[in-house]
């Protein structure tokens, strides 16, 4: 059985509420109703997308994560903008963005090396950390405002999760397969 999975940071409920409220405000720019807004319960920051993996690889990933993340500290993620972000020729997002801090980029690299050591062929693209608030076709009529509403939010990332992605009636549904806590911030 194959499982579509990815490593992610989940967000504290307080941050989810702020982001959901911010996304509500951004709906006003979606004049042609082209954006598929993500259900706030599904908000996350993808660290490393694995694609289809097999069940035994989940156990291997968990073991590797427990070893390699033992010394890794929790981190603060500064969400400093929510804007239009064109991901590819086909897909665009409305996403909360964060600066690429050394800690976050190192955690991304660690998750990529764990995936590779579990025998997963990781397709490295540019990693631009973000939280997807909505998705739309890259060919759209979305008119970006001259100035996006400000966002200035800190989110504690104190665990890494492996999420399974399954299609749901209103977009994908993400279910945790395992969660590894990070060390408390000193």
Pairing mode of beta strands 91-98, 2-9? unpaired
CB atoms within 10 A of CB 25: 12
Residue placing its CB nearer to ligand 2AM in the complex, 105 or 185: 105
Does 46 engage in binding with ligand 2AM (CB under 6 A)? yes
In the bound complex, what is the minimum distance in angstroms from residue 84's beta carbon to ligand 2AM?
13
Candidates 19, 84, 165, 182; binder of ligand 2AM (CB under 6 A) is 165
Contact track, ligand 2AM, 103-142, x by CB under 6 A = -----------------------------x----------
Q: Quick check: 6 binds ligand 2AM (CB under 6 A)?
A: yes
Rounded Cα distance between 152 and 96, Å, is 10
Burial 109-118, CB ≥16 within 10 A → b, else e: ebbbebbeeb
Residues in binding contact with ligand 2AM, number by CB under 6 A: 6
Cα(33)–Cα(13) distance, rounded to whole angstroms? 27
């Amino acid at each position: 059985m194959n499982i579509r999975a990815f490593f992610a940071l989940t967000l504290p409920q307080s941050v989810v509420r702020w982001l959901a409220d911010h996304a509500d405000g951004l709906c006003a720019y979606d004049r042609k109703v082209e954006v598929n807004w993500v259900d706030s319960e599904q908000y996350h920051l993808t660290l490393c997308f694995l694609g289809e993996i097999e069940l035994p690889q989940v156990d291997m990933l968990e073991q590797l994560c427990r070893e390699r993340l033992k010394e890794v500290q929790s981190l603060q993620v500064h969400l400093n903008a929510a804007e239009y972000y064109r991901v590819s020729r086909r897909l665009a997002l409305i996403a909360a963005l964060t600066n690429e801090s050394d800690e976050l980029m190192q955690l991304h690299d660690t998750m990529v090396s764990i995936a590779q050591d579990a025998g997963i062929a990781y397709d490295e693209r540019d990693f631009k950390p973000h939280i997807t608030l909505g998705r739309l076709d890259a060919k759209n009529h979305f008119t970006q405002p001259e100035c996006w509403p400000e966002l200035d939010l800190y989110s504690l990332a104190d665990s890494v999760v492996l999420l399974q992605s399954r299609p749901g009636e209103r977009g994908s549904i993400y279910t945790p397969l395992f969660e590894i806590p990070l060390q408390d911030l000193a």
